[in-house]
Amino acid sequence: MEFNSIDELNDDDRSLLLKAKEAAKNAYAPYSKFKVGAAVRLANGLVIIGSNQENAVYPVGLCAERVALFSAQAQYPDQPIIALAVTAIGSDGKITQPVPPCGSCRQAMIEVESRHNQPLRVIMQGEEGPIIVSEKMEDMMPLTFAEDFLKKYTVI
């Protein structure tokens, strides 16, 4: 689904996106200068935020989405994560397109869905401009490799 303005979102999606925008300000991104913010909503209503955390050894850094997801799961392992909002602040002009989560983060989101057997809603925006809302991970990453596939062919 695509929306033209944050005012068109439902209350939960709008507040989650606003939390992600706040979180982006806390990013540690001295190398890319691309500050990403994420916010996840748990089934009990709690919101956990994350931002990208970079490192002088570049691959050590972690994306905002996984910081938020892993922090939420570490603190509330039994709470399903029902939604994630992601946005970013650039360093060369305003970001006017929705920020797409990277492939590794999408894989991490798929794990969250299969872990809790709950669809994960994803809300994406830049600093301004259109907002894309996806209702389930299959739409963002088809031909999924997930737990059920492993279970079918291994003894786990």
Catalytic residues: 65
DSSP one-letter string for 1-18: -EESSGGGS-HHHHHHHH
Residues within window 42-81 making contact with ligand THU, judged by CB under 6 A: 52, 54, 61, 63-65
Residues within window 25-44 making contact with ligand THU, judged by CB under 6 A: 29, 32, 34, 36
Measured between alpha carbons, how far is 2 from 23 in angstroms, rounded to an integer? 23
What are the distances in angstroms from CA 64 to CA 7, 54, 132? 24, 10, 18
What minimum distance in Å lies between the beta carbon of 72 and ligand THU? Answer: 16
| Residue 102 within binding range of ligand THU, rule CB under 6 A | yes
Instruction: Output phi, psi for 34, to 5 deg.
Output: -120, 105
| Residue 82 within binding range of ligand THU, rule CB under 6 A | no
Q: Which is nearer to ligand THU, 65 or 113 (CB)?
A: 65
Structure tokens at 67: 């910081």
Q: 81-89 and 121-124 as β-strands: parallel, antiparallel, unpaired?
A: parallel
Residues within window 109-148 making contact with ligand THU, judged by CB under 6 A: none
Inter-residue contact 51 to 64 (CB < 8 Å): yes
Q: Which is nearer to ligand THU, 43 or 106 (CB)?
A: 106
Q: Which is nearer to ligand THU, 52 or 79 (CB)?
A: 52
Structure tokens at 89: 């602040």
Q: Which residues bind ligand THU (CB under 6 A)?
A: 29, 32, 34, 36, 52, 54, 61, 63-65, 101-102, 105
